[in-house]
């Protein structure tokens, strides 16, 4: 077993096509036909609702030309779009730690590690998922785990157009806002560099037993 995670960067890719790819790859990892892989992708603007999402969190003010997907991950509604790094780890947790809470916390730590290399202090909020800078969310996550193999994952707002979040109650949370690395640092960021930092942290946090 390789000591480092396999990385596949899909670039800008249609959401439905990527969702289909995830489901197919998940089956292959379950069968042992494919290695544990972290997929990076950017999507066209879409809203996705988790299996327990409240449809009322998609607001009437949302832009009407954005596709909406009801998917099998946990969590409520979120936005994906250009300038946002989405990570889909499809990995067998039996090789790491058979714990859903450990996995969720580890994904948060990966983003916190990454942000720290840009002198951004990311934190978790008690009782909530994701990564926060002050009272604004910068990293979201929602996963599905079947027979200990993961799907879906996390999203980090890098150069994201935050106005898209005005059309939803992000993650069903009313009282807090959203932010991005560009907003915090005052200039557009290098997406490739940030993917490299995420990869480094992922390899540090996810070590095969």
Tokens of 200: 């480094």
Question: Could you tell me where the beta strands, DSSP code E, fall in 43-83?
Answer: 46-49, 67-70, 77-80
The model's confidence at residue 3, banded by pLDDT at 50, 70 and 90, is low
Percentage of the chain with pLDDT > 90?
A: 82
pLDDT exceeds 90 at position 174: no
Give percent of the chain above pLDDT 70: 98
Q: Which domains does the chain have, with CATH numbers?
A: 6-205 (3.30.930.10)
Q: Which pLDDT score, from 0 to 100, does residue 161 have? A: 96
Enter the pTM of the model: 0.95
pLDDT computed for residue 75 by the predictor = 86
Q: Is 121 exposed, middle or buried (0-12, 13-18, 19+ CB in 10 A)?
A: exposed
Q: Where are the alpha helices (DSSP H) in the chain?
A: 15-31, 100-116, 181-185, 191-205
Catalytic residue among 158, 171, 178, 184: 171
Active site residue 90: no
Alpha helices, H only, 89-173:
100-116
């Amino acid at each position: 077993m390789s000591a480092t995670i396999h990385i596949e960067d899909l670039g800008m890719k249609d959401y439905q096509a990527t969702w289909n790819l995830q489901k197919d790859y998940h089956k292959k990892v379950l069968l042992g036909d494919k290695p544990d892989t972290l997929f990076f992708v950017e999507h066209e603007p879409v809203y996705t609702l988790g299996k327990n999402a409240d449809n009322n969190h998609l607001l009437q003010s949302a832009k009407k030309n954005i596709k909406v997907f009801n998917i099998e991950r946990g969590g409520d509604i979120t936005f994906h779009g250009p300038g946002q790094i989405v990570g889909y780890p499809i990995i067998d947790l039996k090789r790491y730690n058979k714990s859903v809470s450990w996995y969720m916390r580890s994904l948060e730590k990966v983003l916190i590690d990454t942000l720290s290399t840009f002198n951004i202090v990311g934190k978790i909020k008690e009782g909530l998922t994701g990564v926060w800078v002050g009272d604004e969310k910068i990293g979201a996550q929602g996963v599905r785990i079947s027979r200990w193999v993961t799907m879906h994952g996390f999203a980090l707002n890098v150069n994201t157009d935050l106005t898209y979040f005005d059309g939803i109650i992000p993650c069903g949370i009313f009282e807090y806002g959203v932010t991005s690395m560009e907003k915090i640092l005052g200039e557009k960021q290098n997406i490739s560099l940030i993917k490299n930092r995420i990869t480094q942290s992922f390899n540090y946090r996810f070590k095969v037993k």
